[in-house]
Amino acid sequence: MENKVVTQTITNATVISNNSNTSKRLKQFKKSGPLYVLLLPSIILLICFTYLPMYGLIIAFKDYSPTLGILESPWVGLKHFIQFFNSYQFDLTIKNTLNISLYSILVGFPLPIALAILCNQLRIGMFKKVFQVTTYLPHFISTMVMCGMILIFLSPSNGLISNFLGLIGIEMPNVLSKASFFSSIYVWSDVWQHIGWDSIIYLAALSAINPTYYEAATMDGASKMQKILHIDIPLLLPTAMILLILRAGSLLSVGFEKVLLLQNPLNIAGSEVISTYVYKIGLQNFQYSLSTAIGLFNTVVNIVILLLVNWMSKKLTKTSLF
Amino acid sequence: MKKKFAKKSRTEKSWKDRIFDISVYGIAILMMVMIIYPLWFIVIASFSNPADIANGNVWFWPKEWKLDGYIELLKQEMIWRGYLNTIIYTIVGTFIALVVNIPAGYVLSRQDLFGRKLISTFYIIPMFIGGGLIPTYLVVKNFGLLDTFWVLVLPFSVSAFNIIIAKTFFKNSIPESLWEAAQIDGCGTIRYFLTMVLPLSKAILAVIGLWTAVGIWNSWFDAMIYISNESLQPLQLILRRILIANESLLGTASGDLASELRRLSEMMKYAAIVVSTLPIMCLYPFLQKYFNQGVMVGSIKE
């Protein structure tokens, strides 16, 4: 902001009158004309399908009725928010959402970093390539197929895992029908599917490290493990911090599709999260306003957490998104 | 004397490093097995007798080869329809996404764009805020797009993430002097973009095109919300009926016939996974370098 003021005063000083400054801006604007044409398709689509729905958020504060439309529906203030906060679903969905989300940050965040460091240690070129291709592979499986695979493998009667456990004489419980297992199933299958892909960005950061660091460390007689601890990890931290901030910004938005697909009436106590609840209230029970209010609550909390973590990170580590 | 001492400590160190290397390769091999084996198992299971799988007789190779799952699956007319729909959605949707996102990325990379900061903000806001499920649904409904082909390829084709990646690419690989030279030759912005920038940008077109294509191929939630017409359903929705909802596609029956049908539908599950995932899995090793390139481009700051 301050910068802008400074440059403006400079231009004002060099250009003789304010008048010709505006005409210069007009000229600049005109010159950008063809560029605006190129932007047009995406701007129109964004306005229609992203910004218009934002305006539609006001139905969270109204009793929306399809016959009256958004504008005519009566205002009701915070009624729907209060209804959500007081419902017995509130504690349940918040608890499950935070549980799954924090669990997956705790497990799913450090593991790709570890994998990248591991991969970086592989010196046989061909092996490294095969290793990478293999670990990225599951990322391209669709959520639907992934959930199908989870159901097949975890089937208590004839699934792969129960057969395997049967070999060593352990009977497999029906984990899919137990609420307490849900978060583990969710998080670890996610790790299996995305760990390789999530590590790419750290591999890029590792490959950017100046080799003289390693040379110097070798001269000092550092072991490989020491090089990882004192060179790799410290230099990966800024990248990790940025990704952690982004991750924190979607704390309340867990991978909704996967939760919905793995949910069943028996595990619902551990699997109902805010987003699945929004879906059910809205599109299955047609309580449009309530559903929108819950969704809005979700977004606001996410943004607040994002800003908070970003601010904290800026203070503590000098790394921040904005 | 001193030299000898240094040499000794280095061999000691290298012993540590050797153990380290062995464990690194050990862990890497273990991980590869853990990733590959489930996928391999799905493939062999799709060719096996379900009874053998249930009894735990199939581990690395089918006990007896059976093609029933595939035969029954491919007899289902809706599988073919779903396949065809998905292919069309993927092609059209990818094309639209490129037409929409690539020019936006290019324009935002231009330093001389008037109002650049404001416009960038306009694109970034949707990354953090959105209307959410219901308001978006209502808008789509009001546009009359419910249950149409277009709803899966047009409304959500703008991706701020892809635009930022494209912008970074253009900024780093298209020199500003090229535009200055083109201007001197009397070339306009749009013609410059179409005839000079685009041919130099095959890499970013490939990256964004592939990402989008995989995304559309694998997506199902939008279709579930916006499409109820069976003839428009993509493959993933049909997979849902086979894999998740456990819906039998073979009709109802009782007695021996019922158990036979159960057996077949069990086989169809494995076959369905293979058939729907195969195209991407086959393409992937060849396209891997583009996928990685995209992540690399995107990971460079901003």
pLDDT at B249: 66
Residue B61 has what DSSP assignment?
S
Tell me what percent of the residues of chain B surpass a pLDDT of 70.
89
Whether B124 has its CB under 8 Å from any CB of chain A: the answer is no
Give contacts of A 28-67 with B, CB under 8 A.
28-29, 31-32, 34-39, 41-43, 45-46, 48-57, 59
Whether B277 has its CB under 8 Å from any CB of chain A: the answer is yes
SS (H, E, C) chain A: CHHHHHHHHHHHHHCCCHHHHHHHHHHHHHHCHHHHHHHHHHHHHHHHHHHHHHHHHHHHHECCCCCCHHHHCCECCCHHHHHHHHCHHHHHHHHHHHHHHHHHHHHHCHHHHHHHHHHHHCCCHHHHHHHHHHHHHHHHCCHHHHHHHHHHHHCCCCCHHHHHHHHCCCCCCCHHHCHHHHHHHHHHHHHHHHHHHHHHHHHHHHHCCCHHHHHHHHHCCCCHHHHHHHHHHHHHHHHHHHHHHHHHCCCCCCCHHHHHHHCCCCCHHHHCCHHHHHHHHHHHCCCHHHHHHHHHHHHHHHHHHHHHHHHHHHHHHCCCCC
Give contacts of A 91-110 with B, CB under 8 A.
none
- Most confident residue range from A16-25, B248-257, B265-274, B277-286: B265-274
A145, B114: Cβ pair inside 8 Å?
A: no
Q: Radius of gyration of chain B from Cα atoms? A: 27
**C-alpha pair distances (Å), B81 with each of A261, B78, B108, B234:** 23, 5, 40, 8
Whether B36 contacts B24, CB under 8 Å: no
Residue ranges and CATH numbers for the domains of chain B are 15-65 (no CATH), 68-299 (1.10.3720.10)
Report d(CA A320, CA A306) in Å as an integer. 11
Contacting residues of A for B288, CB less than 8 Å apart: 132-133, 136
Close Cβ partners of A161 (under 8 Å, ≥ 6 residues apart):
A153, A154, A172
Whether A177 has its CB under 8 Å from any CB of chain B: the answer is no
pLDDT higher than 80, residue B246: no
Q: Is B192 left (phi over 0), alpha (psi -120 to 50) or beta?
A: alpha
Whether A291 contacts A298, CB under 8 Å: no
Whether A214 has its CB under 8 Å from any CB of chain B: the answer is no
Report d(CA B242, CA A305) in Å as an integer. 39
pLDDT at A11: 46
Contacting residues of A for B299, CB less than 8 Å apart: 200-201, 204-205, 239
Q: State the pLDDT confidence band at B72, using cuts at 50, 70 and 90.
A: confident
- Specify the range with the lowest mean pLDDT, choosing from A135-139, B20-24, B50-54, B70-74: B50-54
- Structure tokens given for B222: 């939008």
Whether A186 contacts A258, CB under 8 Å: yes
Contacting residues of A for B244, CB less than 8 Å apart: 144, 147-148, 151, 261
E-assigned strand segments in chain B: none
Give contacts of B 151-180 with A, CB under 8 A.
154-158, 163
Smallest CA–CA separation between A261 and chain B, in Å?
7
Q: Tokens 């943004």 correspond to what residue?
A: A303
pLDDT at A165: 86
Report d(CA B61, CA B291) in Å as an integer. 32
Q: Tokens 């497990």 correspond to what residue?
A: A107
pLDDT in tens, chain A (322 residues): 444 444 444 444 444 455 667 787 788 787 778 888 899 999 999 999 999 999 999 999 999 988 888 888 899 989 999 999 999 899 999 999 999 999 999 999 999 999 999 999 998 889 998 999 899 889 999 999 999 999 999 988 778 888 888 888 888 888 989 999 999 999 999 999 999 989 988 998 898 889 999 999 988 888 888 899 999 999 999 889 888 988 888 888 878 899 999 999 999 999 999 999 999 999 888 999 999 999 999 999 999 999 999 998 888 888 887 7
Report d(CA B237, CA A255) in Å as an integer. 18
B269, A205: Cβ pair inside 8 Å?
A: no
The predicted model scores a pTM of 0.87
Smallest CA–CA separation between B247 and chain A, in Å?
13
Smallest CA–CA separation between A143 and chain B, in Å?
7
Neighbouring-strand partners of residue A20: none
pLDDT at B301: 43
Whether B186 has its CB under 8 Å from any CB of chain A: the answer is no
Task: For residue A295, give the chain B residue with the closest CA.
Answer: B132
Give contacts of A 183-202 with B, CB under 8 A.
192, 196-197, 200-201
Q: State the pLDDT confidence band at B198, using cuts at 50, 70 and 90.
A: very high
Angle at B226 between CA B223 and CA B230, to 5 degrees: 65
Q: What ipTM was assigned to the predicted interfaces of this complex?
A: 0.88
Whether A235 has its CB under 8 Å from any CB of chain B: the answer is no
Q: Which amino acid is at B292?
A: N
pLDDT at A12: 47
- Structure tokens given for A169: 């004489």
Contacting residues of A for B100, CB less than 8 Å apart: 41-42, 45
Report d(CA B103, CA B118) in Å as an integer. 17
- Element spanning B43, H or E: helix B2-46
Smallest CA–CA separation between A88 and chain B, in Å?
22
Q: Decide: helix, strand or coil at residue B80.
A: helix
Whether A153 has its CB under 8 Å from any CB of chain B: the answer is yes
Give contacts of B 216-275 with A, CB under 8 A.
217-221, 225, 236, 239-240, 242-244, 269-270, 272-273
Find the helix packing angle between A88-108 and A79-86, rounded to 10°.
80
Mutation for testing the B interface, residue in A22, A142, A229, A253 having most B CBs under 10 Å: A142
Q: Which of A260, A258, A259, A262 is nearest to A283 (CA)?
A: A260
Mutation for testing the A interface, residue in B116, B134, B172 having most A CBs under 10 Å: B134
Q: Decide: helix, strand or coil at residue B121.
A: helix
pLDDT at B196: 87
Smallest CA–CA separation between A121 and chain B, in Å?
7
B193, A134: Cβ pair inside 8 Å?
A: no
Report d(CA A87, CA A98) in Å as an integer. 18
What phi, psi does A75 have (nearest 5°)? -70, 140
